[in-house]
């Protein structure tokens, strides 16, 4: 019975490892997108949505792993020698998962900074557009005011 649980736990860790690879891929695509001059918020949102679904699956796997581990914890601690190969293999997977998680956190921070830069660029662009529009409005307002005053002086 415990052998089945250990096998399921190992499969869960392998799936989690593969999901982290997918999340890494999405983060890398986000990073490339953030560096492009023609930044697409729609594309970025799609990637965020995809990453959100992967994160949900990751949480589901975590919950299942924790649930199984709670069932076999005492037996594993009581007879470590019998299950040492399975434990070592799961430890190696956990190390890989931890490394990938740390890498993803680093990428997420870079992407956050990249997004802040994109937002600053967009704010600057909008501010320039507002200034240009205001200048054009004031020009036309002044020009129409001069015409009226010129017309008034002729009469």
What average pLDDT does range 128-151 have in this prediction?
Answer: 68
- pTM: predicted TM-score of the whole model, two decimal places: 0.78
Burial string for 33-64 (b: 16+ CB within 10 Å, else e) reads: bbeeeebeeeebeebeebbeebeeebeebeeb
Q: What was the pLDDT predicted at 146?
A: 55
pLDDT tens across 15-61, in order? 999 999 999 999 999 999 999 888 888 999 999 999 999 999 999 99
pLDDT for 127 equals 84
Per-range mean pLDDT, top range of 32-36, 108-112, 145-149: 108-112
């Amino acid at each position: 019975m415990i052998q089945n649980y250990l096998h399921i736990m190992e499969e869960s860790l392998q799936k989690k490892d593969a999901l982290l690879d997918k999340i890494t891929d999405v983060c890398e695509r986000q990073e490339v997108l953030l560096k492009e001059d023609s930044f697409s918020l729609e594309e970025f949102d799609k990637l965020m949505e995809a990453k959100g679904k992967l994160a949900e699956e990751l949480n589901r796997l975590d919950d299942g792993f924790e649930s199984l581990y709670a069932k076999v914890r005492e037996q594993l601690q009581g007879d470590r020698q019998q299950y040492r190969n399975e434990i070592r293999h799961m430890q190696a997977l956990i190390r890989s998962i931890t490394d990938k998680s740390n890498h993803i956190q680093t990428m997420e921070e870079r992407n956050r900074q990249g997004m802040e830069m994109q937002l600053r660029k967009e704010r600057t662009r909008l501010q320039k557009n507002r200034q240009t529009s205001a200048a054009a409005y004031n020009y036309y307002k002044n020009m129409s005011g001069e015409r009226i005053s010129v017309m008034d002086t002729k009469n």
